[in-house]
Structure 1
Amino acid sequence: MRDHQRRRAARRGPGALPRRRGRGRGPGGLRRRGARQVTEPARVPVLNIANVLTMSRLVLVPVFLYLLFAEDGRQFWWRLGAFGVFAVASVTDHVDGNLARKLGLITDFGKIADPIADKALTGAALVGLSLLGELPWWVTVVIAVRELGVTLLRFWVIRHGVIPASRGGKAKTLVQIVAIGLYLLPLPAYLEPLAQVTMGAAVVLTVVTGVDYVIRAVRLRARGKRAVAGA
């Protein structure tokens, strides 16, 4: 065996480096599978810009409520401040999701905290407006029941898969934000019907998308059960 190794070294010529043992290992000792290196995926830190924005939205909720109820919610500048905080918090909802997807910052913490922050902001605004007597309680209850029901449905079907957000759901969220924003603004009397019509559209989209989510959840769960039974 040693004679064979000396003959191979002689063919490679003087000064040739000895070959290292350990097949299937590339530079740095990384294992190779075929022609490709197999590396461990990098762990995404929980403390990243996307999650910081999500948490800032939660922090802004009590600030928003303070501004909304200051001076019994009737003073122009306080209401304008409440609208500003709500608008900034709503923008962070769009920004943190985009950053998480583009920069690969999606974490389990973010998946849980993001919808909680969204519902906390929207729920605080709706309840606050109802407490001030500016929004009928039935509107707040309908939207709150829908959001809570969808959250429970997510847990109900989570072992079978995830239902992606539909265009209707995205439209519902946008119209809700616009409607709440209009109610928060100290609008002149002749523009109040605009806020009412927009909120009406938000309620309709809330109910319709809620029913659609129930149907898709039931179908997903049924498919999951059939797959398990046929395995």
Structure 2
Amino acid sequence: MEVQETRVQTDRVLTIPNLLSMARLVGVPLFLWLVLWPAFGGPKNDGWAIAILGLSGISDYLDGKLARRWGQVSRLGQLLDPLADRLFVLSTIVGLTWREIMPWWLTAVLLARELFIASLLPVLRRHGYGPPEVNFVGKAATFNLMYAFPLLLLTTYDNWLGTVASIIGWAFVWWGTTLYWWAGILYAVQTRRLVKASTVAD
């Protein structure tokens, strides 16, 4: 969930926070289909794609907040929440890049961060740890990017709305990308500390 110190309070699977995370996962392929359909000759459905992104952002905020308030923080939720975040970010990057709304170099910067995080997982696993828990900076980065992506989709409209969306959207992109990498560095620091503590314990 959103705060790293949050501890598991239930082993229940069918909780409202978990259902919200599951709904976000279901929304990933639907969003990707809506975004990519125009690239293959289908009608433009960017309005629906933006709506799904908006709902995803709202559910991302609610699942963590409700889990803590209702004492429904679970191990499944701690896995589903970051997984849904990451898949939505990746699917949006793919869709916007394919549609040539997002430049390839920015895609490379964001994907490089994902590869960087992935490189930490074998190290953690070797010392008996699971994936790093989501920290506040990581959540803030995802939140900024989830604001940026629908705004970038609005730039496809050739009017004043598209112009305003471009200015605000790219501001969110730069801030979100910076936080995304900052969170990655914090994960690396966390990994180093865990490995060092494990080595000392041995």
Tell me which interval the TM-score lies in, with the shorter structure as reference length: 0.7 to 0.9
Specify the alignment match of 1:88 in structure 2. Answer: 55
* 1:194 to 2:145 alignment: no
Is the Cα contact below 8 Å between 2:57 and 2:143 reproduced in 1? Answer: no
Is the Cα contact below 8 Å between 1:54 and 1:92 reproduced in 2? Answer: yes
2:98 to 131, 136, 140: 131
User: Structure 1: which 5+ runs fail to align?
Assistant: 1-41
* 1:172 to 2:172 alignment: no
Structure with bigger RCO (C-alpha 8 Å, 6+ apart): 2
Percent sequence identity is: 29
Deviations 1:142-197 (A, max 9, x none): 22332343355356336368855444323212221121121122442354233223
Tell me, in whole angstroms, the C-alpha distance in 1 between the residues paired with 2:61 and 2:111: 21
The number of residue pairs the alignment matches comes to 187
Point out the more displaced range, 151-160 or 188-197. 151-160
Tell me, in whole angstroms, the C-alpha distance in 2 between the residues paired with 1:198 and 1:74: 30
Specify the alignment match of 2:69 in structure 1. Answer: 102
Bigger Rg, which one: 1
Tell me, in whole angstroms, the C-alpha distance in 1 between the residues paired with 2:43 and 2:175: 26
With the length of structure 1 as denominator, give the TM-score of the two structures. 0.68
User: Structure 2: which 5+ runs fail to align?
Assistant: 1-8
Is the Cα contact below 8 Å between 2:144 and 2:172 reproduced in 1? Answer: yes
User: CA 1:124 to 1:48, structure 2 compared with 1: closer, same or farther past 3 Å?
Assistant: same
Secondary structure of the corresponding residue to residue 188 of structure 1: helix
1:216 to 183, 190, 198: 190
Specify the alignment match of 1:206 in structure 2. Answer: 180
With the length of structure 2 as denominator, give the TM-score of the two structures. 0.77
Specify the alignment match of 2:21 in structure 1. Answer: 54
Is the Cα contact below 8 Å between 1:161 and 1:220 reproduced in 2? Answer: no
